[in-house]
Chains A and B, each alone.
Chain A
Amino acid sequence: MTQVATAPPSTIAPLGGSGGAPSRKPAWRRFLGNKWTIRIASLVIFIGLWEYFGRDLPYVISSPSAIWAAAVENFWPEVWPAFLETLRGLGAGFGLAIVVGVPLGLLMSFSPIVEIALSPYLSALYATPRITLIPVLVLWLGISFEMRVGIVFLSAVFPIMLNTYLGGKEVDQGLLDVGKAFRASGFKIYRSIYLRGSIPYIFAGLHLGLGRGLMGVVVAEIATSAGGIGNLISYYAKYFRIDSMFVAVVVLGLFAVFIAEFLARSNATLNEPWNRRRKKKEGIVERDLPTNAQAE
Chain B
Amino acid sequence: MSTASTTTRAIRTMNDAAARNKWAQSTAGRWTIRIVTLVVLLVAWEISAADVSRALIAPPSEIFAAAWQQLFVTGTVWGPFFDSMFVLVTGLVAAIAIGLPIGIAMGRWKKVAFALDPYVTFLYCLPHVALVPLMIILLGFGYEFRLGYVILSAVWPVIINTMAGVRAVDRDLIDAGVAYTANERQIIWGIILPAASPFMVAGGRQAFSAAWSGVIVSEITSTLVGIGGQIKLFAIDYLTADMFVPIFFIMIVAVSIQAFAAWAQRKLTPWQVERVSR
Chain A residues near B (Cβ < 8 Å): 1-4, 6, 8-10, 12-13, 15, 33, 35, 38-39, 41-43, 46, 59-61, 107, 110-114, 116-118, 120, 123-125, 127-129, 131-136, 138-140, 173, 176-177, 179-180, 186-187, 189-190, 194, 211, 214-215, 218-219, 222-223, 229-230, 233-234, 236-238, 240, 242, 245, 248-249, 252-254, 256-257, 259-260, 284, 287-288, 290-293, 296
Contact = CB atoms under 8 A, between A and B. Distances in A.
A215 B129 contact: yes
Contacts of B157: 3, 288, 290
20 contacts: A3-B210, A4-B124, A10-B121, A39-B114, A60-B138, A110-B15, A112-B24, A118-B37, A132-B246, A139-B56, A173-B3, A180-B5, A186-B9, A218-B127, A218-B129, A233-B130, A237-B134, A237-B136, A292-B275, A293-B164
Contacts of B246: 132
B159 to A, nearest CB: 8
B5 A189 contact: yes
Contacts of B275: 284, 291-292
B228 A39 contact: no
A287 B203 CA distance: 11
Nearest to B234: A135
Contacts of B122: 253-254, 257
Given A9-B120, A38-B115, A60-B138, A256 B127 contact: yes
A2 B155 CA distance: 10
Contacts of A134: 220
A142 B22 CA distance: 47
A255 to B, nearest CB: 9
Given A131-B228, A245-B133, 12 more contacts: A13-B164, A15-B113, A33-B111, A38-B115, A110-B7, A112-B24, A127-B209, A139-B240, A177-B5, A223-B220, A242-B134, A292-B275
Given A9-B160, A136-B247, A284-B275, A249 B3 contact: no
A43 B117 CA distance: 10
Contacts of B36: 117
Contacts of B276: 284, 291
Interface string B196-209: 00110011001001
Given A128-B254, A135-B235, A140 B56 contact: yes
Interface stretch (B65-73, B90-98, B177-185, B211-219): B211-219
Contacts of B105: none
Contacts of A249: 126, 130-131, 134
A179 B5 contact: yes
A112 B113 contact: no
B117 to A, nearest CB: 5
